[in-house]
Amino acid sequence: MSMDPSEQNPKGQSVRVIVHSFFIIPFLIAVFAVLIFAMLKMVVGTPPNLEQALRTISRGSETERWQAAMDLTAMLQAQRSENIDPRFLDQLSFEFRRSATERQPFLRTYLALAMGLTGEPRFETDLIEGLAASDVPSTLASIKSLGMVGGAVAEALLVDLLSGDELRIVLESIIALGRLGRTSSIPHLLPFLEHPEANLRWDSAISLAKLGDRSGREIIGRLLERRYYVSFPLVDELEQDRAILIAVEIARLWQESFFKENLEYLSRNDPNLRIADAALKALKVLNGDE
């Protein structure tokens, strides 16, 4: 598939990759990198349970509190528990609301992420209030978690955020709307397919795909081409791999011949064996072999 000249990103063009990541703004990359560390610590040490972590958040020193919130997020990421004690959820809500009066952005950010990871719709109201935070990282965390637990009210507020000037917030709102799964968001995401910022184009196409809309098909096709990323030097190889895998999964689900040439090339030539295998499986689905 040939590259659209408008995607070449020539010198002096306003297009830039907002973040050194395909999907997550810089601070949240750091958050989840630390989560990996925390999970390793859980393996080699004696991990606290959810209740112990929450007690430390309630009573510990400033440093202990945000570290416990980090541990809490790591545990929820690992456990994905569907049977969390309602008293724990009440306390988590209380601690998040209490953090609004404190100058601890790390604490508030991790608590917001923890609420999203519970999958509990009851946290929608708390997270909506979290959108008013003065620091961008905790606002982004609230947006991210609203994409996991929000409903119609969250959707309306996220749509409003699309018109803001802070591009990191716009980007995270686009991603969150895709996660929410509400097709009423589609008309609000479509204009971003033409946005000068590459990240907003890419993630709007992917969010639209999650919502069943194929308007971003050409963008998804470009994301299947490793040579396309040459125009975006801030996107490293790991991030390229992640983006390509997402595009391959969309191509597999859509089963369109439009993607066949790129899938064939990836299956035969990509140096990442995981990508090559995923492309081969997508081709089999497209060809009716599976």
**Of 209 and 83, the one with more pLDDT:** 209
Which amino acid type is present at position 161? L
Q: Which residue, 243, 266, 272, is CA-closest to 281?
A: 266
Lowest mean pLDDT of 27-41, 59-73, 171-185, 270-284, name the range: 27-41
Q: Which residue, 87, 102, 97, is CA-closest to 55?
A: 87
Q: Is the dihedral of CA 83, 84, 87, 92 positive or negative?
A: negative
What pLDDT is attached to residue 149? 95
Percent of the chain residues past pLDDT 70, beyond the cut:
82
DSSP string, 54-110: HHHHHHS-HHHHHHHHHHHHHHHHHH--S---HHHHHHHHHHHHHHTTSS-HHHHHH
Lowest mean pLDDT of 30-34, 44-48, 90-94, 246-250, name the range: 30-34
Percent of the chain residues past pLDDT 90, beyond the cut:
66
What pLDDT is attached to residue 82? 65
Q: Do 7 and 201 touch, CB atoms closer than 8 A?
A: no
Q: Do 175 and 147 touch, CB atoms closer than 8 A?
A: yes
| Rg from Cα positions in the chain | 20
d(CA 164, CA 188): 13
pLDDT tens, 1-11? 434 434 544 43
- 265 by Cβ neighbours in 10 Å (0-12 / 13-18 / 19+) ranks as middle
Q: Buried (b) or exposed (e) across 216-248, using 16+ Cβ within 10 A?
A: bbebbbbbbbbebbebbeebeeebbbbbbbbbb
**Of 46 and 178, the one with more pLDDT:** 178
Token pair of 223 as six digits? 């994301």
pLDDT tens, 151-178? 999 999 999 999 999 999 999 999 999 9
What are the residue boundaries of the structural domains of the chain, listed by start? 21-150, 216-290
d(CA 226, CA 68): 40
> What is the average per-residue pLDDT within 238-263?
94
Residue 59 has pLDDT above 50, yes or no: yes
Q: Do 202 and 223 touch, CB atoms closer than 8 A?
A: yes
Residue 289 has pLDDT above 90, yes or no: no
Could you tell me the pLDDT band of residue 235, with boundaries at 50, 70 and 90?
confident
Three-state SS at 120: coil
Residue 59 CA from chain centroid, whole number? 31
What pLDDT is attached to residue 7? 52
Q: Is the pTM of this model over 0.95?
A: no
Token pair of 188 as six digits? 């609000």
What pLDDT is attached to residue 17? 56
Lowest mean pLDDT of 42-56, 154-168, 202-216, 238-252, name the range: 42-56
